[in-house]
Structure 1
Amino acid sequence: MLHLRIVSPPESTADVLTLLREHVGATHLVHFPGAAVQPAGDVVEADVAREATDEILAGLCAMGIDHSGGITLEQIDTALSDAADLAEDRAPGDAADAVVWEELVARTGEESRLNATYLAFLTIACLLAAVGVITDSPVTIVGAMVVGPEFGPLAAVAVGLVRRRFDLVKRASVALGLGFLIAIAITAGGTWLGSLAGLFDASVILGNHNVDFVYQVGPWSLIVAVLAGAAGMLSMTSAKSAALVGVFISVTTVPAAGYIAVAAILGEWQRVLESAGQLLVNLVGIVVAAALVLLLRNKRAATDDAPRPLSLG
């Protein structure tokens, strides 16, 4: 379940309470008249079944509470209550299949920002990938996949396209484009320093190696990217975040970026082009698959909600 807290203008509180009382997916309703200071108003709290959250949020936003007051959501890890069990049983659908769109937009929007933390993780991941390429270490390549933060912006692009939030698409695209360029440039600089120090030469990427899959783009690259994108979005929308680790180690976005840096410094431009192709195929495949998952879920949600008009009394 999710804990819902609402700061409501006094003139809207009656409608808010009516909405929550009448919805089968809401329980543990609490009202604190005049408790809110900034913005001023009443505070209303309730616990809501995940599968009912999107409908309740839509009703609150229709009242303009998101503009005149405030709405916050928090995950409840444990709820020991017959009333909570009843609300989850009565709410239509299943919690694992429910999509809380506002939560998803907020989450992906936060993860799509081009900030120092994002750049640091992406750069470290590319540097790890470069080390994996140079040392022919698949384990290090897997480590780079796990560290890479690129799925957040990719998911944000998919969410923005489906919800027509083109500001989100633009911000996430900038984070991906500039982020990878900066990370590749820094990794190339580190590779150049390593080559000057005599740590390796061009032979490290010539011949057959265990990590050649990083740059070898083909139909399977797209298939894996599509499956990973679908699994990743299912994980994000169903709150099963553990599955994201499997997504991270399935695609070769960060390893391809690291390979680009190493191959460029060593003058292997054919490998640079092949790695760039691998990177592009993975990025596009993930976004397309994630967007298709969201479209299917959005269509299903619209179908399920159609017979249940929201009543405000």
Structure 2
Amino acid sequence: MSHRIIQIHVRRGVGDLHQKLKRITPVVDKWPVGPDGLSYALLVRTQDVQAVTDRLHSLFMEKHIVRIVIQPVEAVLPKPITLVAAVASQEDAGVKSPRTFSGISRDELYADVARGAEISTSFLLLVVFSTIVAGIGLIENNIAVVIGAMVIAPLLGPNLALGLATALGDLDLMVNAVKTMLVGFLVALALSCGLGLVWGHFWPLDLYSPELLSRTEVGFDSIALALVSGAAAVLSLASGISSVLVGVMVAVALLPPGATMGIMLGAGRYDLALGAGLLLAVNIVCVNLSAKLVFLFKGVQPRTWMEKQKAMRGMILYMIFWAISLGLLAYVIILRMGQGL
């Protein structure tokens, strides 16, 4: 069982902090930090962090809170079974907190995902490096090299950030995610297109490499794979199990089909480029749609009523947009199958 330490620091004039914190359950333990009585640390189970932080916001006005810091805990002594009993006794004695969100807290999730929506030098370099790695692996038909590019996966971050932004109704994060996604894809497309031109000019370019051709074919199995993999990515993030992400990056890779599309455009094979572009579009749509569904299932939502209403309106429009997009892509796939493409 994992735990977090929630440290709250308040301004003077809020009253007896210790007495107010007694009204918060379930808390495994708490202790003062510093001699002034304005800072306390709360030991909380990971699944209770969201309920506790929301309760802190309801007990104290925003202007009275200096900061709230959430830290992961590597280990706790005594053993967790004793802590579970302590929490159970607290819950029996008081009112149980609703657990609409059973993973890491909203704020932790936001901090993790928002980093993927930033256009930084590191992000651009990762896009460049992974595109080069993917392009060479695709052309040389080297699956190990292609998997290496998949694991880097810089383009997965903005898509997950977009899903979280709509769940929270955060317009700024939404705009940043869309901008980062567009910049990343344009850089990857331009670089892979140039790679196709240069490689074809100086060396023989095998456009029928199995690794290349596999990214120009798309069917309903591609839709199912992208939906499930996108859901697994968000579920692993929201639950705090980041080790699953590597497998997800490989399963629903966005960059290899984008690199294939650029290489085929550079080589003048627009028919094959269209197939790769269709696969890329399917992956993007399915990742965003499944991300939203998982955020909805996990109960990820803003704290206040007004923010919840705003996020709900955005969520409806968001899901309608991606559902219609997926329907159109499925129709295109059916047409291509009818034409034997």
Give the TM-score, by structure 2 length.
0.77
Q: 1:205 aligns with which of 204, 207, 210?
A: 207
Inter-partner Cα distance in structure 2 for 1:66 and 1:105: 22
Secondary structure at 1:10's aligned position in 2? Answer: coil
- Structure 2 equivalent of residue 125 of structure 1: 130
The percentage of aligned residue pairs carrying the same residue is: 21
Residues 5 and 45 of structure 1 are in contact (CA less than 8 Å); yes or no, is this contact kept in structure 2? yes
CA distance in 2, matches of 1:2, 1:66: 24
1:65 Cα offset (Å): 4.3
Give the AA of the match of 1:69: V
Equivalent of 2:68 in 67, 71, 82: 71
Structure 2 counterpart of 1:61:
57
Distance in 2 (alpha carbons) for counterparts of 1:105 and 1:16: 29
2:143 aligned with 1:138, yes or no?
A: yes
Asked if structure 1 preserves the Cα contact closer than 8 Å seen for 2:195 and 2:266, the reply is no
- CA deviations 1:193-240 (Å, max 9, x no partner) are 3333x2233xx113x624422121221111111001111111001111
2:46 to 46, 50, 59: 50
CA deviation map 1:32-86 (0-9, x unaligned) = 2448xxxxxx222121111111011112223234874111111111111256444
Does the Cα contact within 8 Å between 1:19 and 1:59 map onto a contact in 2?
no
Tell me what 2:293 maps to: 292
Where does 1:97-176 land on structure 2 (aligned, <5 Å)? Answer: 97-176=102-181
Secondary structure, counterpart of 2:16 in structure 1: helix
**CA shift for structure 1 position 299:** 8.0
Q: Within the alignment, does 1:218 sit opposite 2:222 as a pair? A: no
Q: Which segments of 5 or more consecutive residues in structure 2 lack a partner in the other structure? A: 304-341
In the TM superposition, 1:207-286 aligns within 5 A as: 209-286=210-287
Q: Judging changes above 3 Å, is the alpha-carbon distance between structure 1 residues 187 and 64 closer, same or farther for their aligned structure 2 residues? A: farther
Per the TM alignment, residue 292 of structure 1 is displaced from its structure 2 partner at its CA by: 0.3
Q: Give the equivalent residue in structure 1 for 2:4.
A: 2
1:38 counterpart residue number = none
Give the conservation status (yes or no) of the 8 Å contact 1:229–1:287: yes
Match of 2:315 in 1: none
Deviation per residue, 1:112-152 (Å, 9 max, x gap): 11111111112211211111221112222211111112222
Look up the equivalent residue of 1:76 and give its one-letter code. Answer: V
Is the CA contact (8 Å cut-off) linking 1:113 and 1:171 kept in structure 2? yes
| Aligned counterpart, 1:24 | 26
SS at match of 1:4: strand
Aligned length: 291
Structure 1 pair 199/9, CA: closer, same or farther in 2 (3 Å)? same
Letter in 2 for 1:182: V
**How far 1:295 moved relative to its partner?**
0.5
Q: What one-letter code is carried by the residue in structure 1 that aligns with 2:260?
A: Y
CA distance in 2, matches of 1:132, 1:266: 16
Residue in structure 1 matched with residue 77 of structure 2 by the alignment: 80
Shift of 1:10: 2.0
Q: Is 289-298 or 98-107 further displaced after alignment? A: 98-107
